[in-house]
Structure 1
């Protein structure tokens, strides 16, 4: 696993849907080209922004196959395997491995309550069954379990994981995690927040997994490059521009849930930009109302994307 490293901007790829809620191959290929042309350093297929838990096994396989074919090995790819139970995750992981992904993304179990020790067992069973590099996905808002620093360290020491995507919103904990792994160059810490990327990189993170990167991948790459060059003034300026663009995620509330407003905001922006044919999400998530679409358009114009 030490030979596989992730860094830089690795967006969780939006899954475009046809009118009848199937994977839209033409639009997905356009999205992959948009991301690679924007300079991203990797692709995260079937993440939360990808609406992964709404997709059945056939649809997941289609997303992976289409994306990998279009990417043609230009950047590494990791694939989400999210499901409530260990055996179902193993099935997803085996499918992803057979289709050719470079690594897996695994959360703790969800719906059923779990412990830190059971979570370590969960990761161990998946690694034993599939033997691919695993990125631990810390997203307690969806799993009801925060991956502790001790758990991450034990899983790393046991060679179960090679990286973590921190979507916990706890930047103080992520900063301490950076110190925990300061002497482990083969372990990557990736922030899942779109709005504090400059802070995370200054604190030692190796990259970012921004859903908003589907809309403006080049902006996040500029931010990353400025930070890596030590130009923190330029990094802050780009981050603040992206924060203004990030306001698209709030426009659907209260018509939609916050989650649907977020993914719906991304899809609406991408539809307006001509990247995807349809902007609806998986059922029962509502599309953004017309007033919200108009506001998203205003924000895109102000950001220089329309």
Structure 2
């Protein structure tokens, strides 16, 4: 069982390499896992939005989780995305991930529909009751149009196996409030989901980050966390500023292609995004190359 003290640090939502039929490319996925583990990350999150979870059917999601669990082989905790529009589908994914040996789950708010607070509470509660795994909630209102409000989080944090939240929102006040209202709830942790706000989240007492840029520059993102925890605030801040040009490339293409394009430029050969998303333009790829070059990630 995953120890609560091991839920911390830098957890990349890894990209999912796919083959020409848009099925999981097992060899490519293993290369990505090795790359981020070599960078010193503290966990791996498979089937997040960077992992194109929405583009993979149940069999492919199962294959992605099983491959990740097997290849990580206990080196760091594996968080599996169990996100869908309906409660029933999330429960099915949660059970699959638990059977596959994942250490924890990450569950996004539903997308497309707009449940009220009571419906959202019951949704997450039902998922939590369907599994023994710890759950990290995933708030990404910009993508799902649903927001986990501060009062709702306070209620959800009291459910035994809901142990944290990743806030992918530029509303930093909300992150601070998440931390404030849960600080007396033992074993509940708040993670930054915006790579601009890693240092800030740590400064307010957050536990780490779920950072898409850690796919590409794991060591740099880990530096922010580890230097901060070691009391080297200046070094942590410097690493945070150094990361920002990479985070600024997100809008150079349609989400979530940019991290895949970066890894391809670095020679990791992770293939194409799932259609209708396409690669960045040649001009943008040149600009990305410069950012990677400045970070010493390509020669």
TM over 0.5: yes
Q: 1:282 aligns with which of 254, 274, 286?
A: 274
Match status 1:264 vs 2:257: yes
Give, in whole Å, the separation in 2 of the partners of 1:160 and 1:65: 22
User: Are 2:158 and 2:185, in contact at CA under 8 Å, matched by a contact in 1?
Assistant: no
Residue 23 of structure 2 corresponds to 22
Give, in whole Å, the separation in 2 of the partners of 1:200 and 1:266: 23
Q: TM-score, normalized by length of structure 2?
A: 0.95
Residue 180 of structure 1 corresponds to 181
Q: 1:301 aligns with which of 283, 293, 299?
A: 293
Aligned pairs for 1:1-306 (under 5 A) are 3-5=3-5, 6-252=7-253, 257=254, 259=255, 263-278=256-271, 280-306=272-298
Give, in whole Å, the separation in 2 of the partners of 1:301 and 1:4: 38
SS at match of 2:28: helix
CA offsets 1:33-62 (integer angstroms, 9 cap, x no match):
111111100011100100001100111011
For residue 213 of structure 1, report the CA deviation from its aligned partner.
Answer: 0.4
User: Are 2:157 and 2:185, in contact at CA under 8 Å, matched by a contact in 1?
Assistant: no
SS at match of 1:157: coil
The runs of at least 4 consecutive aligned structure 1 residues that moved more than 6 Å come to: none
For residue 160 of structure 1, report the CA deviation from its aligned partner.
Answer: 4.8
Give, in whole Å, the separation in 1 of the partners of 2:172 and 2:149: 13
User: Are 1:45 and 1:79, in contact at CA under 8 Å, matched by a contact in 2?
Assistant: yes
User: Are 1:146 and 1:168, in contact at CA under 8 Å, matched by a contact in 2?
Assistant: no
Give, in whole Å, the separation in 2 of the partners of 1:276 and 1:185: 42
CA offsets 1:71-104 (integer angstroms, 9 cap, x no match):
1110011111111000011111111111010111
Q: 1:2 to 1:41 in 2, by over 3 A?
A: closer
SS at match of 1:135: strand
**Aligned-residue RMSD, C-alpha:** 1.5
User: Are 1:162 and 1:187, in contact at CA under 8 Å, matched by a contact in 2?
Assistant: yes
Q: TM-score, normalized by length of structure 1?
A: 0.93
Unpaired segments ≥5 residues, structure 2: none
